[in-house]
Amino acid sequence: MKRNSAIDYLKFLFSLMIFLYHFDLGFFGGYIVVEGFFMISGYLMFLSLQKKKELAELPDGTARFVWNKYKALFLPLLFSAISGFLIQELLVFAPMEKENLWDIPLLIFEIFPLQSAGFKGRWTTGVSWYVSAMLLAVALLHPFLKKKPEHAAYTLCPILSLLVWGLLNMTYGHLGVTTKWVAELFHAGVLRAIAGISAGFFLGALLQRTREWRPVLRTRILLSVAELLGLLFLIYVTCQKEFSYSAYDLVLTALQFGILWIALSGKAWHTPHLSFKYSSIFSTMSLYLFLNHVAWCMYFQDKHTTTEEGLRVLPMALLCVATSGAIVWSLTTLTQHLWKKASQRRALASTENE
């Protein structure tokens, strides 16, 4: 199944909604789009297992799969954690106190995200709970999904999703729980990740079944309209304070599943027109927006108390986040380039010695 560039635009939209949620600018239910990120992770896991079944069968298949996912995030997490720490100490909690320097070792639990396992971190990115929950959930699910992906997708995954989301909804009345524990066994964030990744895995199997379907033009137009209306409804409901942290979380999660099915199926009329060559730029922007916005949101929260004031300072906040993200991206790219050059030199020296 070929990757659809619509995933890049959706990731950027979800990241922007999470930023506005943390910025306290009317997106009271913006936290719920994290479920969309979990579903995308599950969808990509299904694609990976379909393409690399021989890797999945290896004894270390799960460890290698989790390591590859974390390796892609390591440098962005490292530089984002350092950047967030400096912003907090120099701006948010200014003036810097010497006692806070003892928090520097706690950044290890931000760079190697373990918040959802119960380890205390400094939370300089503020969202690494999501990364830790995702990695833990992937490590738990992968051994059960890798042997027979299609079979697990239609049996285990839907049941897991329904049971977990139902448990959280029954226990808390909503899904917006990130730091609590359920039955003193699982962090609620890990459970959300298990449910979302399982749903995304199921979504991948459904999309594979409809790969050969060629809808007529009228159907493609209807799918485009349905996706647009779904996104507008998602945005509208997340802006309503009375619907946040409520049973509506389950409705919005189901809605995101439907939006992702339409977008990733490639069957909608508008989808081919979104397949620009540089759509991956939006995916990169979403990652660095996601990892670098929380410290700046903390700084600007004291600058506005009304929606009008928030809109006034929003451009400056976006500029600051974009600047931090660009610096982190530059450091990441430079480090990767230097590492690649060093590896090539080592390989060349080894060849010459032989």
Q: In this predicted model, what pLDDT tens digit does every residue of 99-149 receive, in sequence order?
A: 777 778 888 888 988 888 888 777 889 888 899 999 999 999 999 998 889
CB atoms within 10 A of CB 172: 15
Helix (H) / strand (E) element for 182: namely strand 181-182
Mean pLDDT of the chain: 89
Task: Please list the alpha-helical segments (H only) found in 103-247.
Answer: 108-111, 128-145, 149-154, 156-172, 188-209, 217-238
Rounded Cα gap, residues 106 and 344, in angstroms: 34
> In the predicted model, is pLDDT for residue 184 greater than 60?
yes
Percent share of the chain, pLDDT over 70? 95
At residue 223, the pLDDT reads 95
> In the predicted model, is pLDDT for residue 311 greater than 50?
yes
Exposure string of 15-37, with b = 16+ CB inside 10 Å and e = fewer, is bbbbbbbbbebebbbbbbbbbbb
Tell me the average pLDDT across 292-307: 88
Question: For residue 1, what pLDDT band results from cuts at 50, 70 and 90?
Answer: very low
Give per-residue pLDDT as tens, 11-32: 999 999 999 999 988 889 999 9
> In the predicted model, is pLDDT for residue 55 greater than 70?
no
At residue 56, the pLDDT reads 47
At residue 52, the pLDDT reads 64
Least-confidence region, from 117-126, 237-246, 330-339: 117-126
Give per-residue pLDDT as tens, 250-274: 999 999 999 999 999 989 998 877 7
At residue 351, the pLDDT reads 77
Rounded Cα gap, residues 227 and 262, in angstroms: 7
Tell me the average pLDDT across 44-65: 72
Rounded Cα gap, residues 75 and 288, in angstroms: 11
Question: For residue 178, what pLDDT band results from cuts at 50, 70 and 90?
Answer: confident
Query: Which residues neighbour 320 within 8 Å (Cβ) at sequence distance 6 or greater?
Result: 296, 299, 300
Which pTM was predicted? 0.92
At residue 3, the pLDDT reads 58
At residue 60, the pLDDT reads 60
